[in-house]
A and B are shown apart, each in its own frame.
Chain A
Amino acid sequence: MEFSDLMPAIAGMTWQNLVMIGVGFTLVYLAIKKGFEPTLLLPMGFGAVLVNIPLTAALTQIDPEGNVVVGALDVFFNAGIATEVFPLLIFIAIGAMIDFSPLFRRPSLLLFGAAAQFGIFMTMVLAAACGFSLKEAASIGIIGAADGPTSIIVATQFAKDLLGPISVAAYSYMALVPIIQPPVIKLLTNKKERMIRMNFDANKKVSRTTLIIFPMAVTALAGIIAPSSLALIGFLMFGNLIRECGVLNSLSKTAQNELANLVTILLGITIASTMTGERFVRLDTLMILGLGIFAFVFDTAGGVLFAKLMNKFSSEKNKINPMIGACGISAFPMSARVIHGMGLKEDPNNFLLMPAISANVGGQIGSVIVGGILLMLVPLFA
């Protein structure tokens, strides 16, 4: 009897598997010790270890008799990721968590949800210049949406092989917003600009009817203009309608808690099924991780520069603190908190939290819209 018969897992171990097991432990460490998006990075990290042990029963294997033994993670992948069911369920949960009322207090801040998507397109162009195909480039660019489920949906449709690194980049960089955004903002603004106090009526009341009509109106409009965005925006707004209708409080709480938690567990560990050594340990992965940072940097720059542009045409009373522009990304509420903190550092009496939250909510809508736009445009050009 040979060693490989006695210890097939050790005998079959490659250096790529070992690297990925190391990556898995690192993700678990970052999740537990550093608090980086633990709900996703911990299952992904653990899953990475699980799928990189040779002959793991978590993935589909062929037994010595030649029979196919289907692995649980492959079942989850085919049922939940390939069909986009898991990310869409997450959208219902996110929708149920979002309070759109800050948007109505200064609706013009919605536009930052468009400006701060600049990084998605810049990164797509950069990725195409680096030699990625158009569909791969779009999937890499969408990391800049700072929105995990949107990234997963676009990558699942356009570049399934890159789903692992794209998901890791999207969720890791969302956790790194407090590190990535401040230097970019400081580079593009001066102290005077960062001290601008904004005219924002935080106490303005918004009617319940308005909050109920808004998700339905957005869904109808998105459906008419870009039907391909309808699954994304529709599930998000459906979750929000459950929250705002006032007659489904129990469902709303379930969506915000149990549904979000259950699907997040499955989503994280299922994405890990794509993180096998032979698929992940490649030059492509490093390039994707690098391009992902570019996406976040350009997003931030796009938002800040757009705010500065708006200030050129605004009256003194309606000036916008350009840091608010950086909140147009979808990383909610982390980006708003970062900007609020930066504002307080410059001026301890300048409270930017509410306008920052408004822009951040706009970013959540904007990122989903861009996901839909890419799903519509890329196949027309590819």
Chain B
Amino acid sequence: MSIDFYKSLEISGIGLAGVFIFMTIFYFVSTLIDKMFPPEEDEE
């Protein structure tokens, strides 16, 4: 296997972990924003 193959494996590991970290952060952020600004408050 070429060196690029091993590099692509490494990038895949980091990249997949990275996208999960991103989405987990977005999950917490969206939950937090939703809790901080409920629709009732908006209407007031």
Contact = CB atoms under 8 A, between A and B. Distances in A.
Contacts of A107: 27, 30-31, 34
A162 to B, nearest CB: 15
| A interface, over-half SS | helix
Contacts of A214: 29-30, 33
A209 to B, nearest CB: 4
A122 interface: yes
A122 B8 CA distance: 9
Contact size class for B? 20 to 34
A107 B32 CA distance: 11
A283 B11 CA distance: 26
A138 interface: yes
A104 B29 contact: no
Contact of B12 (A122, A132, A366): A122
B37 A209 contact: yes
Interface string A108-127: 10110111011011101101
A128 B7 contact: yes
Nearest to B24: A111
Contacts of B18: 226, 369, 373, 377
A262 interface: no
A221 B26 contact: yes
| B interface, over-half SS | helix
A221 to B, nearest CB: 6
Interface in B16-44: 16, 18-27, 29-31, 33-34, 36-39, 41-42
Contacts of A348: none
A221 B19 contact: no
Contacts of A221: 22, 25-26, 29
Interface string A94-115: 0000000001100110110111
B6 to A, nearest CB: 8
Given A209-B42, A366-B19, A128 B2 contact: yes
Interface residues of A, number: 50
B23 to A, nearest CB: 4
Contacts of A104: 30, 34
Contacts of B23: 110-111, 113-114, 362, 365-366, 369
A128 B39 contact: no
Given A121-B11, A366-B19, A111 B41 contact: no
A128 to B, nearest CB: 4
B37 to A, nearest CB: 4
Interface stretch (A200-208, A319-327, A334-342): A200-208
Interface string A129-149: 101111001100000000000
A210 B29 CA distance: 10
Nearest to B10: A381
Residue among B7, B19, B30, B38 with most chain A CB within 10 A: B19
Contact of B37 (A127, A138, A210, A222): A210
Given A226-B18, A374-B15, 10 more contacts: A111-B27, A114-B23, A207-B38, A209-B37, A214-B33, A221-B25, A362-B23, A373-B15, A373-B19, A374-B11
16 contacts: A104-B34, A107-B30, A111-B27, A114-B23, A115-B20, A129-B2, A205-B39, A209-B41, A213-B37, A218-B26, A218-B29, A362-B23, A365-B23, A366-B22, A366-B23, A373-B15
Interface of A: 103-104, 107-108, 110-111, 113-115, 117-118, 120-122, 124-125, 127-129, 131-134, 137-138, 205-210, 213-214, 217-218, 221-222, 225-226, 362, 365-366, 369-370, 373-374, 377-378, 381-382
